[in-house]
Structure 1
């Protein structure tokens, strides 16, 4: 039996399959396509994440303030992220604390294995936030950017 080369419409990769079904796809390839479809559907859902985390001041220059996302939230965002869409593994998000909402990006942090959410000075001023406070964050991936 010869090995058939098929092009996968999900990723544009070639698959070698020895046993093809009547429709031209073997069971493994059909599972692969179902997984691609399920992943695309999950990514299209604009899931909001709500959590409490401590606001902290970056020790370097600039006075940057960050919140480290809980590990569980970070894992879900990594799963829902579109691979290679943005540089450095960052993800565009819409964040809200209190009554203030802003658009920004979260960045992967190797030390924590999570993402860092920068909290702008304007947001801190409006909400009267200081480093060391635990704040409630509502975070949603921003598919428009």
Structure 2
């Protein structure tokens, strides 16, 4: 990966009710495979991949979580409120994964 990786996809917003409830969108398998191929170059640990994301007109930064052999995008409450997103809504997502992170 020489420069930023750009991914666009749509997905359904779902709610995880665990000890720290949060909303997510699952990255589709073809894009998850692309991310898996560059994960070791961009992760900061635990398989987390930092991204710049945009849903609708709202940009935000977060990290993709590895889950069930793929990845999920956490959707911040501020983004959901601003965009009027509810659980079960299908949203269009734009992700940017930056190039290799410097080794320490």
Band of TM-score, shorter chain: 0.7 to 0.9
Matched, 1:106 2:56: no
Classify the secondary structure of the residue corresponding to 2:46: helix
Moved over 3 A (4+): 82-85, 142-145
Identify the match of residue 82 of structure 1 among 22, 35, 40.
Answer: 40
Match of 1:59 in 2: 17
Measure, in 1, the Cα distance between the counterparts of 2:42 and 2:96: 19
Classify the secondary structure of the residue corresponding to 1:101: strand
Matched, 1:93 2:54: no
Q: Is the 8 A contact 1:68 1:116 kept in 2?
A: yes
Q: Which runs of 5+ in 2 are unaligned?
A: none
Q: Is the 8 A contact 2:49 2:63 kept in 1?
A: yes
RCO comparison, higher one (Cα < 8 Å, 6+)? 2
Q: Which has the higher strand share?
A: 2
Identify the match of residue 92 of structure 2 among 116, 129, 136.
Answer: 136
Paired residues, number: 101
Q: Which has the higher helix share?
A: 1
Q: Which has the larger radius of gyration?
A: 1
Q: Is the 8 A contact 2:42 2:98 kept in 1?
A: no
* TM-score normalised per structure 2: 0.87
What is the root-mean-square deviation of aligned Cα atoms in Å? 1.9
Q: Which runs of 5+ in 1 are unaligned?
A: 1-42
Measure, in 1, the Cα distance between the counterparts of 2:82 and 2:25: 17
Identify the match of residue 120 of structure 1 among 56, 59, 76.
Answer: 76
Classify the secondary structure of the residue corresponding to 1:123: helix
